[in-house]
Amino acid sequence: MFEHIPPFAGDPILSLNEDFQKDPRPNKINLSIGIYFDDAGRIPVMDSVKRAEAIVVAKGGPKPYLPIEGAANFRSAVQDLLFGADHEAVTSERVATIQSVGSSGGLKVGADFLARYFPGSQVWVSDPTWDNHRSMFEGAGLTVNTYPYYDPANGGLKFDAMRAALRGLPAKSIVLLHTCCHNPTGVDLTRAQWEALIPVLRERELIPYLDLAYQGFGDGIQQDAFAVRALAAARVSFFIANSFSKSMSVYGERCGALSVVCPDARQAALVLGQMKFTVRRNYSSPPIHGGQIVATVLTEPELRRDWERELGAMRERILAMRRQLHGVLAAKVPGRNFDYFLTQRGMFSYTGLTSAQVDALRETHGVYMVRSGRICVAGLNNANVEATAVAMAAVLGA
């Protein structure tokens, strides 16, 4: 019956993480998957999240199906977080938000919606992007292309080429943009660059699709939402999928949302209705537990304050690791410029290592990173950063 089914090639990120778990070497270092580890190399249980969960459990009660679109308190807390309290787009009810199964679930619901209602549109993703973006949009039946983004010459952004490419796209093209902490490169647009890009998105009538998986890991919770608020203020219609996996360390709870900013409340109601239809025929409705933890953290003032402080400490730790990695590498490989480790933001950095060098790092030194040369900086800690830099210097021939 199933002989004709080809074997799954594996996922470039998740399979690597599984290989790491199986590696018996005691000094192995995992810089593969985008998970925040603390300085002891553990996935943290954030205190604010633990207390919120205790509140949710103490409330108890039955567990009915949530509405298709998710819990009302979760959805409104997400809107406040993304747009800021009392943003005009929210108060005029022109944002349609659903609770989703992680931001991946939201991305896919949005992709299915776009494939159905914009069948002539194609998708444009940054070169490079998160490996799963292409799979998801292609899985929805959309054609996926790339626009220029990362500049290997200097570890920065090809902004002029990016803007020129977007300017040349047909109207209603779908443009996937990383709101902050670009995955996999760590290279973000500056505020000035967003401000220069927004008129292009608006005038060319493009459909921006923002991915916000790392809010708070770049420059701060508010700062990282800059593009969301600027696009909404410019009255651009756009999609945004956001995640709490990393920012609340609740990966397996699958907590995310999809919001669509529309021209007016009437259109937002139409969009919400069809997103509900998409959800209903996929998984019917989202789970309760994780979403209620997230909503409690976001809406209880004390928990909210503590969460922001804890997330700030995570952000600072990543920055400290960037500085340490840069310091050792700059000393060991003096002929090479590693300043991009300091300018890139968020969990990821593109190291510039070739796939052969990445393989050598894994095989000889037990350091795991994605074959594109991406490292998860949040996998570094005081106990392994020096060893990582020494191993990297070795494969670079220093």
Told to judge if 211 belongs to the known catalytic residues of this protein, a careful annotator would answer yes
Number of residues that bind ligand LMR (CB under 6 A): 6
Per annotation, catalytic residue among 108, 158, 246, 276: 246
Told to judge if 246 belongs to the known catalytic residues of this protein, a careful annotator would answer yes
Distance CA 45, CA 51 (A): 10
Residue 183 lies near ligand LMR (rule: CB under 6 A): yes
- In whole angstroms, the minimum distance from the beta carbon of 137 to ligand LMR comes to 15
Residue corresponding to tokens 């968020």: 346
Residue 130 lies near ligand LMR (rule: CB under 6 A): yes
SS3 368: strand
The separation between CA 381 and the C-alpha centre of its own chain, rounded to angstroms, equals: 22
Contact 288, 61 (CB under 8 A): no
SS3 148: strand
CB atoms within 10 A of CB 109: 24
Distance CA 382, CA 13 (A): 24
Per annotation, catalytic residue among 130, 188, 224, 306: 130
Told to judge if 130 belongs to the known catalytic residues of this protein, a careful annotator would answer yes
Q: Which is nearer to ligand LMR, 89 or 136 (CB)?
A: 136
Beta bridge partners of 124: 145, 175
CA angle 134, 138, 141 (to 5 degrees): 160
Over the window 323 to 362, marking each residue x when it contacts ligand LMR by CB under 6 A and - when it does not, the resulting string is: ----------------------------------------
Residue 373 lies near ligand LMR (rule: CB under 6 A): no
Residue 186 lies near ligand LMR (rule: CB under 6 A): no
Residue 34 lies near ligand LMR (rule: CB under 6 A): yes
Residue 249 lies near ligand LMR (rule: CB under 6 A): no
Q: For the chain, what is the radius of gyration of the CA atoms?
A: 21
Residue corresponding to tokens 């594109």: 372
Residue 13 lies near ligand LMR (rule: CB under 6 A): yes
Among the listed residues 16, 29, 31, 33, the single contact to ligand LMR using CB under 6 A: 33
- Residues annotated catalytic, as ranges: 130, 211, 246
Residues that bind ligand LMR in the complex, under the rule CB under 6 A: 13, 33-34, 130, 132, 183
